[in-house]
Amino acid sequence: MNKATAVSPANIAFIKYWGKKDSKLNIPFNDSLSMNLSECSTTSTVVFDESLKDDFVDINGKNIEGDKKQRVVDILDVVRKIARTRVKARVKSENNFPTAAGIASSASAFSALALAASWAAGLRLSNREISIVARLGSGSACRSVVDGFGYWKRGKDNRTSYAVPLALVDYWQLRDIVAVVSKESKKASSTEGHEAATTSPYFKTRLTMLPKRIKLMKGAFLARDFSTFGQLLEEEAVDLHVMAMTSKPPIFYWNEGTVQVMKSLRKWREEGLEAYYTMDAGANVHIMCLAKDEKEINKRLKKLSGVEFTIVNRPARGTRLV
């Protein structure tokens, strides 16, 4: 067996990872919490082939070179080191959603890669180990490995920083409707954002506030208290963007469509329809609602002038072999 294919979901963070304590190992400053997305996934196939002179990386049908390829090769190297092999590999990765548009494609990509590469190399790693390898590719990828809702314990070194499941897929029928307000690649990568994060004058304040917010968020989630959960969700999303906007250099991810969705949600709530927003490092908005309101909210979102299309996600299983 020198070939394996894995599929893995993207995830949306309720509590965000922003800023790295160790930028080589992707060790975060704080714990984070997320939901896997059923309709946003990456399928990755890895073949270790003795006849290859170099690694080959194909993403969405394009042969990749340079820094982007190196990030994939770095993970192959991690796997090769554990498996004690030098054999080169062919990697083929396919997303079913727009790349780099505020839907974390790196999370689904690196978690799928971690499982496919390790299995193809003959390793049989535990979920914890796969989560660690995925984290080395992209921090948020470690949360996609576990089923349903992931909790990333920041840890203090490579061995102790990984995700565990907070709750399984069926725990709470939440929906995450992604309102795509821009399909363009974002101008500042999350890597640049993480680097700039600590230069925001609010960064330290955020860190002192977070333990309480994480506790409240976990409590609201486990109690399925949607109103409290939603309020904390929005506070956290705005915090991330305030930090981005106040870092040096400042980064603005929002566009007119982003703000239109945020304002509309507030209005709909006043009318009795409950939904809350969050965003990652991008312009697109993730709207969280309960399953019973999914159709009505999706219908209203699609009517907004700034929204190009929507993607309705249920909680999903984590990384798995296919």
Interface positions with ligand PMV (CB under 6 A): 13, 16-18, 32, 104, 106-107, 138-140, 190, 194, 280-281
What is the smallest separation between the CB atom of 72 and ligand PMV, expressed in angstroms? Answer: 14
Cα–Cα dist 63/4, whole Å: 19
CA atoms within 13 A on the CB side of 237: 28
DSSP 140-188: THHHHSSSSEEEEE--SSTTT-EEEEEE-GGG--EEEEEEES--SPPSS
What is the smallest separation between the CB atom of 26 and ligand PMV, expressed in angstroms? Answer: 7
Cα–Cα dist 26/247, whole Å: 19
Cα–Cα dist 251/94, whole Å: 28
Q: Do the bridges between strand 32-48 and strand 149-153 make them parallel or antiparallel, or are there none, so unpaired?
A: antiparallel
What is the smallest separation between the CB atom of 108 and ligand PMV, expressed in angstroms? Answer: 11
- Nearer to ligand PMV by Cβ, of 93 and 138: the residue is 138
What is the smallest separation between the CB atom of 51 and ligand PMV, expressed in angstroms? Answer: 34
The count of other CB atoms within 10 Å of the CB of residue 29 is 20
Using alpha carbons, list the distances in angstroms from residue 115 to 5, 159, 209, 224: 8, 17, 35, 31
- Nearer to ligand PMV by Cβ, of 15 and 265: the residue is 15
What is the smallest separation between the CB atom of 18 and ligand PMV, expressed in angstroms? Answer: 6
CA atoms 237, 307, 175, 231: torsion sign: positive
Q: Do the bridges between strand 89-95 and strand 56-59 make them parallel or antiparallel, or are there none, so unpaired?
A: parallel
**DSSP assigned state of 24:** T
The count of other CB atoms within 10 Å of the CB of residue 86 is 10
- Nearer to ligand PMV by Cβ, of 207 and 322: the residue is 207
- Nearer to ligand PMV by Cβ, of 18 and 254: the residue is 18
What is the smallest separation between the CB atom of 175 and ligand PMV, expressed in angstroms? Answer: 18
- Nearer to ligand PMV by Cβ, of 118 and 138: the residue is 138
What is the smallest separation between the CB atom of 52 and ligand PMV, expressed in angstroms? Answer: 29
> How many angstroms from the chain centroid is the CA of residue 185?
16
Radius of gyration, CA atoms only, the chain: 19
- Nearer to ligand PMV by Cβ, of 86 and 187: the residue is 187
- Nearer to ligand PMV by Cβ, of 253 and 268: the residue is 253
